[in-house]
Amino acid sequence: MNPIYKRSFTLVELIMAIILLSIITLGLSSLDVFSRVQVFSADRRMQLQQEGALIMAHIGRHVSGAIGNEFVTGADTVVQTTLNPNFRQINIFVDNAADVNNKGRYDLATDMWTSYRWDLGNGPNAYHLRYCGQCFNQNCNFNQCVTAVEVLGIRVSNFNFIVQKNAGQLTSNAIDFTLTECWDPDGNPIACGDSHNPSFTIQNTAVMPSVSTN
């Protein structure tokens, strides 16, 4: 074979080898990137699930201590809710002294109000879910919480509660809670639910066995 053709054939082979090597390298790189994204996403989702489960356990434990009868003591004397453009808050009258004979009576030394507050996307507490274990008064102003305010979550993108009432009085001794957490709750620049910004939603019904509804 002519030496010129020999050299040309070798050059073609070299070009083909380079192309194949580039394809393989690109494929391996893409696989590595994909694997890393999946690992990071799974790890973040697991952290959100753990935090969400702990929050719901906290709510269930404290709400179960609610006491009273709004048909006797009046509307909003056991459960109060605030749906504000800037925050959502639920206040609950609980039996701190483990003495149900005190139900319906506000006594800071024994029974008390506790509260959960979720701030929407503004201010220093944006997307935080906070807990005041002992409110200064029935309005549960978090700036005047008797005990230290607990921050239960900092990535809460939604916090909802359904309280069944009629004429302002409880008609059910159970409250349905829904909590959604997102790794970057403001959804900017990546929307919640994306693989790079995973989210997790958990629901639970908290029962108040010492609350009467008639």
pLDDT band at 60 (very low <50, low <70, confident <90, very high): very high
pTM of the model: 0.79
DSSP 24-49: HHHHHHHHHHHHHHHHHHHHHHHHHH
Answer yes or no: is pLDDT of 111 > 80.
no
Q: For residue 97, what pLDDT is reported?
A: 61
Mean of all residue pLDDT scores within the chain? 84
The total of other beta-carbon atoms located within 10 Å of residue 19's CB is 10
Query: What value does the mean pLDDT take over residues 152-166?
Result: 95
pLDDT tier at 9 (50, 70, 90 boundaries)? low
Mean pLDDT confidence for 59-85 = 91
94 membership: H or E segment, kind and range:
strand 87-94
Contact 80, 165 (CB under 8 A): no
Q: Is the pLDDT of residue 105 over 60?
A: no
Do 52 and 202 contact (CB within 8 A), yes or no?
yes
pLDDT score at 28:
66
- Report the C-alpha gap between 106 and 165 in whole angstroms: 21
Q: For residue 144, what pLDDT band results from cuts at 50, 70 and 90?
A: confident
Look at residue 170 in the predicted model and tell me its pLDDT. 93
> Which pLDDT does position 6 carry in this prediction?
53
Can you give the pLDDT at residue 132?
Answer: 95
Percent of the chain topping pLDDT 90: 50
Mean pLDDT calculated for residue range 127-154: 91
> Looking at residue 16, what is its pLDDT?
78
